[in-house]
Structure 1
Amino acid sequence: MSNEPKVLLTEAHVKAYLQDHPEFFQNHLDLLEKMHIPHPSGNAISLISKQLEIFRAKHQEQENQLTALIDIARENDASFNRMHELTLAMLEANSLEDAVANLSEVLAECFFTDFVAIKIIKEQPLSPISNLFVGADDANLKHFSNELTTNQPKCGRPTLAQSRFLFGDVAAEVRSCAIIPMVFTQLDGLLAIGSRDESRFHYSMGSIFLTQMSEIIGTRLISLLQQMD
């Protein structure tokens, strides 16, 4: 380790260096963005100072926009990966039991949800999964008439009647929920994803992602149902 004494830079040193190197700021324009240089005219702002102020503001705005774009790109990548995992989980299912089990697992691990419910609107009394099928004349379906009629997902806090029908004994624990209709030519049903976090599924959430999810799940369910017939 060197025992030479450290040289303490003073304003005089900096001034002398800048006088000897007038091109310094030309080579380090980024420093000018962070400096505030008083103008000899006092409170009056020179044209150059005003231009520099505008440049700083635009530069900051561009940085903010770039940061926002990077965040969006990261979220899109994450969404793509989650949908990929969901697709694989559905393709790996060889039965309705597998499909329900795989769906519960992938939604919990990749989508950070707490509860999952599937209701297929079809008479199928031989199903080994309790409460998976529901008759078209079931009175509880009236609580979902809006979703099934418009074929549009709904996010937010479910009504008590909706929650009891979908989630049974754990209905009281569901603080927010996405109710996703599956309305296809060969399948009518409901997919519900619930959370204990009341902010997890907010009413202002977009529906494109949820609709794509229902298409992946519904398509696989249709294939598995055909194997049962």
Structure 2
Amino acid sequence: MNDQQQTVLSEEQVAEYLQQQPDFFQRHLDLLEQMHIPHASGNAISLIAKQLELFRVRHQEQENQLTALIDIARENDAAFNRMHELTLAMLEANSLEEAIANLSEVLAECFVTDFVAVKIIKQYPESPLSNIFVQQDDAGLKHFSTELESNQSKCGRPTLAQARFLFADNAAEVKSCAIIPMAFTQLQGLLAIGSRDEGRFHYSMGSLFLTQMSEVIGTRLISLLQHPET
């Protein structure tokens, strides 16, 4: 190769050099005035304008991510507060009757629900709330075999048979509900939360929060059933 022949650099070499020399254009400001980068619209824009555009896009992306994180944090705080209210309401109950009354009240006020149903699979004829107890062989339980066998909550529109079993005379008003199985060694049953709004309990809703809810309620019901005056 002729010594006077100019060495041709590859694009990769140029890019690597510029990465190693981030202040290159500060030392050669005149080049910025000569350089242009094609724009999506077909017009050419300066390197500085392109950099500003990229910075704005990245800044907007970071703002969107921050906003999403703030929204998630707010939702988590709200969920925590609702669960706290539910826990207090159950702990304050000194009888099964009070527990059911407190449960209905806190779910209506804090969880914006219209109907609440509790079904405990147990023979308990002495209770004034005999309507919440069902026998193991009750024909109505066959409509919840999937939930009880899988121990998984289900959200969406209930079948008419399910709604009638859970909500009796209010069945026709329930457009969506969450059916939450309670499966414990000392207690088996169902908790159902219904709404007149068909979009309130959508089938795509997560089940973790509902499972935690059933654990709080189920644990307190077990205590009250074993020690009625606790």
Q: TM-score, normalised by structure 2?
A: 0.80
**Residue 18 (structure 2) aligns with:** none
In structure 1, list runs of 5 or more residues that go unmatched: 1-38
CA distance in 1, matches of 2:203, 2:121: 25
Give the Å deviation of 1:43.
2.2
* 1:159-209 Cα deviation digits (max 9, x unpaired): 000000000000000000000000001000000000000000000000000
Name the residue aligned to 1:33. Answer: none
Trace 1:1-229 onto structure 2 (pairs within 5 A): 43-228=43-228
> Could you list the runs of 5+ residues in structure 2 that have no partner in the other structure?
1-35
Instruction: Answer whether contact 2:155 2:202 (CA < 8 A) is retained.
Output: yes
Instruction: Give a deviation string over 1:32-58, Cα, whole Å, max 9, x none.
Output: xxxxxxx8x992122221111111111
Taking every aligned residue pair, what percent have the same amino acid on both sides? 82
Over the aligned positions, Cα root-mean-square deviation in angstroms equals: 1.5
- Quote the Cα distance in structure 2 between the aligned partners of 1:160 and 1:114: 17
- Distance in 1 separating the partners of 2:44 and 2:108: 61
Query: 1:15-39 deviations in whole A, cap 9, x for unaligned?
Result: xxxxxxxxxxxxxxxxxxxxxxxx8
Is the 2:96–2:228 Cα contact (8 Å) retained in structure 1? no
What's the TM-score, normalizing by structure 1?
0.81
Task: Give CA deviations for 1:68-110 in whole Å, capped at 9, x if unaligned.
Answer: 1111111110000000000000000011100000000000000
Aligned to 2:23: none
Whether the 8 Å CA contact 2:155–2:203 is kept in 1: the answer is yes
Q: What amino acid sits opposite 2:198 in the alignment? A: E
Kindly state the Cα deviation for residue 228 of structure 1 after the two structures are TM-superposed. 4.1
* Count of residue pairs brought into register by the alignment: 190
Counterpart of 1:131, as a letter, is: N
The runs of at least 4 aligned residues of structure 1 exceeding 3 Å deviation read: none
In 2, the alpha carbon distance for the partners of 1:132 and 1:63 equals: 50
Q: What SS class does the counterpart of residue 117 from structure 2 fall into?
A: strand
Aligned mates of 1:131, 1:76 — CA distance in 2: 35
